[in-house]
Amino acid sequence: MPNNHTVSLEDLRRFFAKVVQDPEKGCWLWQGYCDEKGYGQFRFKEKVVWAHRFIFECLVRQLKDNEDVHHKCAVPGCVNPAHLDAVTPQYNRQEQIHRHRMIKILLNTGQTLFPVEEITQEVVSKEIPF
Ligand SMILES: [Zn+2]
């Protein structure tokens, strides 16, 4: 994507005009168009690209064909490269399932989202079907 074309300063200005920072979590929240799952989209060279993938390729490195960009912060609209990781699609899917389970358990037990660490351990050690 971006690395195959030239990203101009103007492109980056346009990009960051649509970003606001979340002072608490440090997320860079995309204010432009998002799909129904909350992933940001950005128009670049007459094409619509994923905002998080675009910024990852601009600021971190080029992605391989089989790589997804995973949000470590679990905020789909976040475009902070420090919160993004390049992973295989299989890993990303596993991570989504895992997170989904964790949230369900938290809701069922009425616990708050923290401490996640113990709960994560619990989830990992058991296979909980739903
Ligand atoms: Zn984030």
What is the CATH classification number for the domain harbouring 80? 3.90.75
Query: Residue 12 pLDDT more than 90?
Result: no
User: Among residues 87, 83, 121, which one has the least CA distance to residue 102?
Assistant: 121
Domain count of the fold of the chain: 2
The answer on 97 and 72 residing in a single domain is no
Q: What rounded mean pLDDT belongs to the chain?
A: 78
Q: What is the pLDDT of residues 72-94, one digit of tens each?
A: 999 999 999 999 999 887 777 77
- CA of residue 73 to ligand 1 center, whole Å: 5
Q: What is the pTM of this model?
A: 0.68
The answer on 109 and 65 residing in a single domain is no
**Banded model confidence at residue 106, pLDDT cuts 50, 70, 90:** low
Task: Please report the pLDDT score of residue 3 as a whole number.
Answer: 47
Spatial CB neighbours of 108, under 8 Å, sequence gap ≥ 6 = none
- CA of residue 77 to ligand 1 center, whole Å: 8
- CA of residue 55 to ligand 1 center, whole Å: 13
The answer on 55 and 7 residing in a single domain is yes
- CA of residue 66 to ligand 1 center, whole Å: 22
Which structural domain, as residue segments, surrounds residue 11?
Answer: 2-87
Query: What's the rounded mean pLDDT across residues 68-72?
Result: 91
- CA of residue 17 to ligand 1 center, whole Å: 17
The answer on 17 and 61 residing in a single domain is yes
